[in-house]
Structure 1
Amino acid sequence: MSITKRFDLKGKVAVITGSSKGIGKSIARGLAEQGAKVVISSRKQEAVDQVAETFQKDGLEAIGISCHIGDTSQCKELIAKTQAHFGRLDILVNNAAINPYYGPLEGSDGAVFDKIMNVNVKAPWLLSNLALPAMKAQNSGSIINIASVEGLHPGFGLGLYSMTKAALIMMTKNQAKEWGRYGIRSNAICPGLIKTKFSESLWSNEKLAKGYEQMVPLGRMAEPDEMAGLVMLLASEAGSYMTGGAYAADGGYLISG
């Protein structure tokens, strides 16, 4: 099989959480352009329908299914509706996340801790478990968990967020170890600072942004589209022997300073 064909995702079905904007939307478009049937998902039905319609106008196959991933019943519905509509599930991208607190570890409270853990760790765990039966029956599947360089290297002010991403990376490794026998691969992607609405509080700070750009070898922040290529590799047969990895896409952040 040629390398070009190994990137082909025709016939595959992908669910991408948090895909009405930012990194998730870029990932969803990349998967769809490679031939996958994609499920656009975020909290508001209007938002996911708008993205799905835009994709459809471009000749891509997509539907929108709203899901608040912090709600167990909605997670179950997302996976059930995907299978009911497409008849299978091949790729799960756990992208949706929150960061409701910026500051020292001791400055947060139990409610904030529970909220960020519920969305950033419990939801990907639950969605992966819900996807498992379909992938197991097919003897194939790719789970891609969007973590962060903050899960590999601690920084100031993002302690709780870093903890969730470190947990997500370890969950990835355990999924790979336990589910490889079923033909299921699990990998994590660890982005650096990306210019999205989610991280606006960081890159809109001129002093912080300038310091970051001077520090990283590539000398700039990333755009959302720059994460899609790595997902294409991990989702397709081109990455068929890749599992249990945590891959940084950070402009060299981890090797700087």
Structure 2
Amino acid sequence: MEVKCRRLEGKVAVVTGSTQGIGLAIAERLGREGAAVVVSSRKKKNVDEAVEGLRAKGITVVGAVCHVSIAEQRKNLIDTAVKNYGHIDIVVSNAAANPSLDGILEMKESVLDKLWDINVKASILLLQDAAPHLQKGSSVIIISSITGYNPESSLAMYGVTKTALFGLTKALAAEMGPNTRVNCIAPGFVPTHFAGFLTSNETIKNNLMERTTLKRLGTVEDMAAATAFLASDDASFITAETIVVAGGTQSRL
């Protein structure tokens, strides 16, 4: 997708969970707008492939293996950005997990722990590492989900962790301001590998589309465009907010 604006020239962006799907699209969009990007995910092969693909598109990028629940890898991700580019301007916390489709009352404690660790706690710990390196005027974007407003039966506990990110966004915005803006994006359903168990079923897919005002699913580019906006100076007076990018799907707690 051609991007003509270069709102992020000279900026440095760190994106977690960014070797496929929404995360990769975000990394590409930030890079096309001029940012130097650090991509990451759990597997080195995926990181290497993402870096190669982005460089082929003219994007300045390096990669780091980062399982967001491992302290040493989180620290290495931040260190990689600082060593290569000297500072950090943008952090996008996108990594997430949904290890079980069980109902909340049937869910094993180990699964509950994993959901909280990856979907909520890891964002906090990543920002603890990143905060000392964030420039004045920097931006943090936390990727939540429309399920934070409407937890689906098969995504109930996942949805609850995504609800928590709405509150975390407001709390961090108060704590990190005025130098750093903190906002959240709640994507609607997007046909990615992560959401494939829903969007690959035609009946479920059509039901999800019918819930939207625009009668379609979202695209990874839709989410990337919203992220780039929040990261840019065009959003310089926006903080502590959640932007719902879900085609008009009902979104109210």
TM-score of the superposition, structure 2-length normalised? Answer: 0.94
Q: Which moved more, 1:77-86 or 1:187-196?
A: 77-86
What is the letter of the counterpart of residue 248 of structure 2? Answer: G
Task: Answer yes or no: is 1:157 the counterpart of 2:154.
Answer: yes
What is the letter of the counterpart of residue 89 of structure 1? Answer: I
1-structure distance, mates of 2:15, 2:165: 16
Q: Which among 139, 143, 165 is matched to residue 142 of structure 1?
A: 139
2-structure distance, mates of 1:146, 1:215: 21
2-structure distance, mates of 1:6, 1:48: 26
The structure-2 alpha-carbon separation of the partners of 1:253 and 1:130, relative to structure 1 and needing over 3 Å to count, comes to same
In the TM superposition, what are the counterparts of 1:11-50 in structure 2 within 5 Å? 11-50=10-49
Kindly state the Cα deviation for residue 146 of structure 1 after the two structures are TM-superposed. 0.2
1:14-45 per-position Cα deviation (integer Å, ceiling 9, x unaligned): 01111100000000000000000001100112
1:31-72 per-position Cα deviation (integer Å, ceiling 9, x unaligned): 000000001100112211211122212221011111111111
The structure-2 alpha-carbon separation of the partners of 1:211 and 1:6, relative to structure 1 and needing over 3 Å to count, comes to closer
2-structure distance, mates of 1:141, 1:215: 35
Task: Answer yes or no: is 1:227 the counterpart of 2:216.
Answer: no
Task: Answer yes or no: is 1:249 the counterpart of 2:248.
Answer: no
What is the letter of the counterpart of residue 186 of structure 1? Answer: V
C-alpha RMSD over aligned residues: 1.7
For the residue of structure 2 that corresponds to 1:157, the secondary structure is helix
What is the letter of the counterpart of residue 160 of structure 1? Answer: M
Match of 1:167 in 2: 164
Contact 1:20 1:47 in 2 (8 A): yes
Task: Answer yes or no: is 1:9 the counterpart of 2:8.
Answer: yes
Task: Answer yes or no: is 1:77 the counterpart of 2:76.
Answer: yes
Q: Which among 213, 216, 232 is matched to residue 212 of structure 2?
A: 216
The structure-2 alpha-carbon separation of the partners of 1:5 and 1:20, relative to structure 1 and needing over 3 Å to count, comes to closer
Q: Which among 161, 167, 192 is matched to residue 196 of structure 1?
A: 192
2-structure distance, mates of 1:52, 1:114: 31
What is the letter of the counterpart of residue 41 of structure 1? Answer: S
1-structure distance, mates of 2:206, 2:168: 34
Contact 1:65 1:78 in 2 (8 A): yes
Kindly state the Cα deviation for residue 215 of structure 1 after the two structures are TM-superposed. 2.4
What is the letter of the counterpart of residue 153 of structure 2? Answer: F
Contact 1:7 1:232 in 2 (8 A): no
Match of 2:180 in 1: 184
1-structure distance, mates of 2:165, 2:127: 12
1:198-251 per-position Cα deviation (integer Å, ceiling 9, x unaligned): 000011122211212222211111121111111111001111011000110011
Instruction: Tell me the number of residue pairs that the alignment of Structure 1 and Structure 2 aligns.
Output: 250
2-structure distance, mates of 1:110, 1:170: 23
Task: Answer yes or no: is 1:205 the counterpart of 2:201.
Answer: yes
Gaps of 5+ in 1: none
